[in-house]
């Protein structure tokens, strides 16, 4: 513990009390990138709601056009695939894999392109 009773900022994820440890999450920069895209998609009228899920194997961010439907897009971080096709996957509305990769920015490209088309119309 650092002075003042606060934990030192070491980047360590600490589980909530009463919850199992070892869950996958997004770091600050990853979440910032995702939320930046989300904000621009909301401003363009494409998305209206989102949900996040954090499990032992994966973390996911799902974006919705309307709250009562399937996600329009889902971004998944699965660290166990880091050495293979990459830990990032972008899923489409029907659950199809749109893009996989090692870098979040590269996996978000199809959504960025879609956003550019909306702005151009």
* Phi and psi torsions of 6, nearest 5°: -100, 145
d(CA 41, CA 75): 14
Look at residue 52 and tell me whether its pLDDT is greater than 90: yes
Q: What is the pLDDT of residues 71-90, one digit of tens each?
A: 999 999 999 998 888 999 99
Backbone phi, then psi, for 98, in 5-degree steps?
-95, -35
Could you tell me the pTM of the whole model? Answer: 0.77
The reported pLDDT for the residue numbered 1 is: 43
């Amino acid at each position: 513990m650092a002075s003042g009773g606060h934990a030192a900022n070491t980047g360590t994820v600490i589980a909530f009390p009463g919850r199992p440890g070892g869950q996958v999450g997004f770091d600050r920069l990853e979440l910032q990138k995702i939320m930046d895209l989300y904000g621009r998609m909301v401003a363009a009228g494409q998305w209206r709601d989102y949900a996040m899920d954090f499990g032992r194997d994966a973390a996911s961010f799902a974006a919705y056009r309307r709250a009562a439907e399937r996600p329009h897009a889902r971004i998944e971080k699965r660290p166990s695939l880091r050495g293979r096709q990459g830990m990032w996957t972008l899923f489409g509305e029907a659950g199809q894999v749109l893009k996989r990769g090692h870098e979040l920015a590269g996996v978000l490209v199809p959504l960025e392109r879609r956003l550019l088309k909306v702005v151009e119309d």
